[in-house]
Amino acid sequence: MIWNIILLVISAALSFANRPKPPAPAKLSDFHLPQITEGTPQQVVFGDCWLADWMILGYGNYRTRPIKASGGK
């Protein structure tokens, strides 16, 4: 009986030591977003069309702090 408990503890320790590590969260520097430079003419498009060149005037608010709200009911 004692050997079963010892094997259980060893197995749990090995499982804890060999568990997969979570990936690191993406940083703002990981995103490669093309932005315009000062003086570049901006295109105004009405409707749906394909453009040869595209640019980003601004992009969303990427959070730097973790969200600490519960998502459950």
Q: Is residue 23 part of a domain?
A: no
Helices first, then strands: H and E counts in the chain: 1, 0
Q: What is the pLDDT of residues 26-60, one digit of tens each?
A: 777 777 666 667 777 777 778 888 877 666 666 66
Could you tell me if residue 9 is inside a domain? Answer: no
Residue 39 lies in a domain: yes
Query: Is there a domain that residue 40 lies in?
Result: yes
* Residue at 10 is within a domain: no
The count of structural domains within the chain is 1
Segments forming the whole domain that contains residue 47 = 28-57
Residue 71 Rama label (left phi>0; alpha psi -120 to 50; beta): alpha
Domain assignment present for residue 32? The answer is yes
Q: What is the pLDDT of residue 56?
A: 67
Instruction: Determine what percent of the chain is predicted with pLDDT higher than 90.
Output: 26
The reply to whether 20 falls in a domain is no
Q: Are 33 and 56 in contact (CB under 8 A)?
A: yes
